[in-house]
Structure 1
């Protein structure tokens, strides 16, 4: 396990034993050994291609007879077939492609010669479902090549012991040596502030910073601009082009663009032909472009580890400081940026903990193993349990998994289409029909994006994909902007949009992808900053004024105490919970709170949430917020809500697809999102009625509890509410509540699309929030009294 700062040479270090094994001196000038020697696994396709490009230089300069190839979803099928018959010495791939490769009968012979597995950026996926899939694949590889050794690389691991345990066969930490690199040059990071205006009250796009961003691009050779969402990347790219009077070469990169578009941009960036590149998380891990001299983060970083990764793309050398600018979208994001910078300076990392391996991933692995050939159930269980994520699987649960893969479970076993494997008289499990292998490979995978529609020109050239829900809102003649182009819809088919170039600019596609929550570590730092009045001197005047007025008019959140504010506004009663537990937890808790308010006759009318808290509004005031947050809310009420909500159905749909119960793809045809939803909802209703303890219902509950609702952070809120809840009743909106209230009515809009409206709304609310209690006029603001008053 190698942990070292970005630019320290981790990736090359991971390959050094492989390069040494192929030196002419070692081989006595003999021909290199045939077969696959080293497998490199990364979380990003772009990173694998970048590593191949950078690895070829030392191989060529040393004159080593090594063949290096990549394998991902973008690899042509003929090359994939050739790789199985005649593998390269080094294969660079992703967890999903590795799992598919292990599903072929040739895999036993292909991996028999494997000596090493190198896992890059292990922190990015080890503790999620992709990590579960990789852990199972490594257990299978270890059985095929017992001498195989494992190496994992990362720059931002919070607790190395957790990752050592995950990496080790059997989870024995002592079996994994930990190597920690020396610290590199401290990064040079600054926070952008508006030149003349104030830091915005609301919004996430940081569009105000585009003129300063353009000046920074002109002043540097190459600038990498990171955005947290694909929508924001398209928006900032469009605004940069509008400001691009000098016609600078600026590109865009995100996961929904076509393979050709991504490769073109990556090549241009590697060759130094771009002055700037706007990108999402598709490029924030390990990509080594040494001539990037500035990184800009648009919006809040959401975590110190993520910020470090992105900063490290600039001046990718250990002895050279990485230069970066942070452009916060609003005042809370300014505090978050300050907290992230403090964490980076203190060398503190954040990250999610590990949880038990997912059952839907285990079912997919069982099916992949069957596709490779007959297997013994006991032997495979021993392999599975050698992965620490699945040590909890006992023989009884294992039998349920096998029966699910074999028949779909008790309630579904009468249907032939769910019969996938069968136990033979020889005691081995095998496929019921050879066609099952092709069906599995067509549908296997862990990353489940929202159903997408291909965007193509009439000549067949693909630009990428937009979400099906967005495509459904368009009609022939409608215009939208995608991949930096203005497009007009010519025709709509079931799985594609046919477009042509347009002269007028249209809307930007919205995406329902995963929202990055504020990490617990960063949330604690922000609250500590709010409580530290002595530290406010380093804030801009308007941010300091905002906090001073909040402290005078109401109170400030602080670690260990839950601040709740109630006030009238717009002829309604508002209650704001300043919880700092991230958007997913706040969404869930707000739903539960409104249910309780309904039961108590308070007449809830709605709620809105962000990373820092949530607000509910109602017909009658909330006099006792503590009663709405009693710990029993996570027992019966939470269960009832999840059972009746869309949440569990969505979780079931995802686990059903991952486990192979519902197939999205058939040869030459793909189901639409609506068809997949119909199929999974039908099965879900059957199972809830006739087999409520079905394996996938259990898996869906695990997802709903841990991933979608963040139960652990909900419990933290309730604990604080029980221990120390500070309820303040006000006569009007508080300064700290303004960023939440300006979101009301706009939560369903794509981030960034309503920023101008947000500014107008915010100014009206801010005028009331920042005025003295005796006067509604903002220009009569009174200096807050001294702190000791």
Structure 2
């Protein structure tokens, strides 16, 4: 038996069948995708064959200590720096135990300059890195020489990368490495993904995909999904109201477990929950920690170390701990608020019981009554393995432009060879000759508009037709800007003594004045001043304070979870809310659904419920497509636009994951024929473009495209350009291209990204097709129904009330409606 397999059996146990299949396939030189639930041993499935191959080639174990250190053999690409650290430690274990002459190192933005300098001379036997750091390595003139011994590339958590520009960047990097090493074996590791064959094809590219091996791990990873339920159910739910009221139950759950990860969907929620837990249980100070992406890296690292050691009772966190960092001591996971997607819930559940044979436990904490239904639906979908798919990107030219400059620096290229290489990636397999020539011209002279500015002539062609970088200055600036991660400008938060707490978004700090208090990183802080992208703070006393808001807090229900929600509501429509075999969540919301049935009807599949009612605010129309927030945003905007085209009227649109509210001062008096005319797919794109300020949306999207493509620079380390200046610079390019180069393909890309990523036009089109087939269920109601109430409350929140708090107004309306319902 191979010594590596013997070590595995002794250290881990009997290998699963899928692990043996993965070992055999990689030893045979094949490529593919390995899919298995979190915590089932994917890392060693992919890593050990390289060590096995070496041991087979060096059977005399007594001579190993005299061997020279093995050159680069394995490249391990990971999406997260924190994951790189954990992976590095796991890869070292068999090497240390067996005394193999292999080295393992990581190369990310966190690695010291000393280590990077050493790696410039010689790469380790196995290098753990990120897509950005791989691109940096490819930008050096001797990159091909450095990677000449590479045999295997492992892309970890491929499902997290493939639908992003970082995934496209990885595809291009793999295409470069395959060109240099035609026998290269490429493997992806994935969990919780619905379109695995497409994921494998995307990773391997058109050349390798037809022969790729898709290996499935066992599906028997046991996951328990339960929900904490309130003692007294609100029949009129409103966003966020229920969450903290369940704090006593959450504290009891934490009391009875060794270690818990408490996930929230936003950083703001994480800050709130951390402070509420500490306020109620001050004796837990030191046992409860906070972890999210805006907290300083050293603080996050300290929290991760405590988790590994089992030194925390609870860590309140966000998606910063979603991915496969191994925290074996974690016994359970708590999910605060709707998971919004089945894959997300399973991914987070897998952070507990992170070992083969262990049960993963996740406890849902709904923040309003409708989210109780979400958790029941998520458990249904998880049991049926209805997992969300992730779609790869198609020809983002900003990423290609960046990659061409990188390759020009990394030894140069010729046009024909590079075109063939680029087309060997899935993202650019359909790249046209016209698109290629445009992109090549863009990096050579900035395109037609910028040709008079020498700084945009980044790539030059020599007499032999080989492209290289134009100057050392351009190379230096390009290397600083490599990557596709873009975000709002961040303000560093520091104490006067220089201790850094983390970062908040520039837009949040812009609303604060010196002396204002806010909660961040578990501290109550007072703003002292803001200078040079640094917010200086001091500790404050008191209770009232603002909580920073970060972008991305309005994630919609996924298609799969929305389908499962409709199925749950259909069951209630058919059997009633008193059926004996209902899950506990549906029994808990029975009072709400019973009242909805009395005053209107429960929405569901095949029928579109349209409620109309009148209040002092005007005439309300509530529709319940049950398609998720983003589809409802597009649909609501479309309906309002079509209504105002037909007659001059004001229409206010409010949406949530369950429905849409249209509010107008006048009664629109719509018949079924009118609704059929409004709910059609004809002229969808034209009407959306008319209804929305798509030009402004495209401007915002263009800022990130301009940065990735190299038109604008974010600045040097420690001298970051402000968000305002970046936006101004990108808008200048946008206007110039619009006026003088309207066929610029980056403008076209910006429009496509707005339509597909921000407006989800494809999903909206499918929803309209479905609505066209539905039977309409109009209901005139005397007052707000339980399903309409959260939409009304959401609109009130968005009006930024000043004379009376939002909570007070909502609470008074709840009292009036409960009185009308006889409570």
| Structure 1 length-normalised TM | 0.93
Instruction: Show the counterpart of 1:386.
Output: 424
Deviation at 1:558, TM superposition (A): 2.4
Which range moved further: 35-44 or 662-671?
Answer: 662-671
Aligned pair partner of 2:793 in 736, 742, 752: 742
Q: How far did residue 535 of structure 1 move? A: 7.2
| 1:226 positional shift | 0.8
Q: CA deviation at 1:41?
A: 1.3
Alignment of 1:744-759 (within 5 A): 744-747=795-798
Distance 1:201 1:167, change over 3 A: same
- 1:528 equivalent among 567, 574, 577: 567
Match of 1:508 among 547, 562, 587: 547
Q: 2: distance between equivalents of 1:330 and 1:662?
A: 43
CA–CA distance in 2 between the matches of 1:192 and 1:424? 68
Q: Counterparts of 1:422 and 1:575 in 2: how far apart (Å)?
A: 61
Q: Distance in 2 between the 1:78 and 1:609 partners? A: 52
| Correspondent of 2:274 among 227, 237, 261 | 237
Instruction: Report the equivalent of 2:725.
Output: 675
CA distance 1:73–1:527, change in 2 (3 Å): same
CA deviation after TM superposition for structure 1 residue 87, in Å: 1.4
**8 Å contact from structure 1 (residues 743, 758) kept in 2:** no
Give, in angstroms, the shift of residue 625 of structure 1: 3.4
Shift of the 640–493 alpha-carbon distance from structure 1 to 2, 3 Å rule, reads same
- CA separation in 1, counterparts of 2:208 and 2:146? 28
Quick check: 1:22–1:32 contact (8 Å CA) kept in 2?
A: no
Larger deviation: 729-738 or 668-677? 729-738
- The answer on whether the counterparts of 1:602 and 1:620 sit within 8 Å (CA) in structure 2 is no
C-alpha spacing 1:319/1:193, structure 2 compared with 1 (3 Å): same
Q: Deviations over 1:411-464 (max 9, x none)?
A: 222223322222222212222221111111222221211111111222322211
Partner SS for 1:35: coil
Partner of 1:326: 364
Residue 736 of structure 2 is aligned to residue 686 of structure 1: yes
Which residue does 1:343 correspond to in 2? 381
Distance 1:767-1:718 versus aligned 2 partners, 3 A rule = farther
Q: Distance in 1 between matches of 2:790 and 2:513?
A: 35
DSSP 3-state at the match of 1:313: coil
1:11-64 deviation digits (Å, cap 9, x = unpaired): 111111123245463775251454221111122221111222333333322233
In structure 2, the residue matched to 1:786 is none
From the superposition, tell whether residues 193 and 441 of structure 1 become closer, same or farther in structure 2 (CA, over 3 Å).
same
How far apart, in 1, do the equivalents of 2:254 and 2:375 lie? Answer: 21
Which of the numbers 301, 312, 316 marks the counterpart of 1:278?
316
1:30-429 pair list within 5 angstroms: 30-170=66-206, 172-196=208-232, 198=234, 201-204=237-240, 206-248=243-285, 249-429=287-467
Instruction: Indicate which of 510, 519, 540 corresponds to 2:558.
Output: 519
Could you say if the C-alpha distance between residues 112 and 172 of structure 1 is closer, same or farther in structure 2, counting changes exceeding 3 Å? closer
Aligned-residue CA RMSD (Å): 2.4
- Mapped pair 1:777 → 2:820: yes
Cα distance change, pair 417–586 in 1 and its aligned pair in 2 (3 A) = farther
With normalisation by structure 2, the TM-score equals 0.89
Q: CA deviation at 1:201?
A: 0.6
Alpha carbons of structure 1 residues 384 and 352: separation in structure 2 relative to 1, 3 Å: same
SS at match of 1:78: helix
How far apart, CA to CA, are the structure 1 residues paired with 2:508 and 2:619?
Answer: 35
Identify which of 707, 711, 715 aligns with 1:657.
Answer: 707
- Asked whether the 8 Å contact 2:233–2:369 carries over to 1, the reply is no
Tell me, yes or no, if the aligned pair for 2:395 and 2:431 is still in contact at 8 Å: no
TM-superposed CA distance for 1:690, in Å, is 1.8
CA contact (8 A) 1:165 1:171 kept: no
Q: Offset at 1:387?
A: 0.7
Is the contact between residue 36 and residue 91 of structure 1 (CA under 8 Å) also seen in structure 2?
yes
What is the rounded CA distance, in whole Å, between the counterparts of 2:794 and 2:717 in structure 1? 45
Aligned to 1:703: 753
1:583 is matched with: 629
- Contact 1:626-1:722 at 8 Å conserved across structures: yes
Counterpart of 2:13 in structure 1 is none
Partner of 1:457: 495
Quick check: 1:298–1:329 contact (8 Å CA) kept in 2? Answer: yes
When structure 1 is superposed on structure 2, of 174-183 and 287-296 the one drifting more is 174-183
Query: In the TM superposition, what is the alpha-carbon distance from 1:113 to its structure 2 partner?
Result: 1.3
| 1-structure distance, mates of 2:680, 2:586 | 38
| Inter-partner Cα distance in structure 1 for 2:520 and 2:443 | 41
Cα distance, 1:645 vs structure 2: 4.4
Matched-pair contact (CA < 8 Å) for 1:184–1:318: no
Alignment correspondent of 1:474 = 512
Q: Offset of 1:722 from its aligned partner?
A: 2.4
1:668-691 CA-to-partner distances (Å, cap 9, x unmatched) read 522100001111112111211222
d(CA) in 1 for partners of 2:796 and 2:309?
46
The 3 A distance-change label for structure 1 pair 648 and 541 is same
Structure 1 residue 641: Cα displacement: 4.0
**CA–CA distance in 1 between the matches of 2:320 and 2:131?**
16
Q: Indicate how the Cα distance of structure 1 residues 515 and 655 shifts in structure 2: closer, same or farther if over 3 A, else same.
A: farther
Q: Equivalent residue of 1:225, what SS? A: strand
Specify the SS of the correspondent of 1:92: strand
Quick one: structure 1 residues 680 and 272, their matched pair in 2 at CA, closer, same or farther if it must change by over 3 Å? same
Bigger CA drift: 361-370 or 24-33?
24-33
Determine the C-alpha separation between the residues in 1 that align with 2:586 and 2:593.
11
Q: Deviations over 1:538-586 (max 9, x none)?
A: 2455511222332343233323433332221234011222123322232
CA distance in 1, matches of 2:113, 2:675: 60
Cα deviation code 1:345-379 (max 9, x no counterpart)? 22332223334132211111112112223211111
Match of residue 12, structure 1, among 44, 49, 65: 44
**1:297 shift after superposition:** 0.4
Structure 2 vs 1, CA of residues 204 and 402 (structure 1 numbering), >3 Å: closer, same or farther?
A: farther
Relative to 1, partners in 2 of residues 1:277 and 1:571: Cα closer, same or farther, differing over 3 Å?
A: closer
Counterpart CA distance in 1 for 2:135 and 2:627 is: 35
Compute the displacement of 1:286 (Å). Answer: 1.1
Q: Residues 581-602 of structure 1, C-alpha deviation per residue, up to 9 Å, x if partnerless?
A: 3222322332333222322335
* Alpha-carbon distance change, 64 to 359 in structure 1, aligned in 2, over 3 angstroms: same
Shift, 1:768, TM fit: 6.0
What is the Cα deviation at residue 300 of structure 1? 0.7
Counterpart pick for 1:548 among 579, 594, 603 = 594
Residues matched between the structures, number? 771
Whether 1:488 aligns to 2:526 is yes
Which residue of 49, 52, 59 maps to 1:25?
A: 59
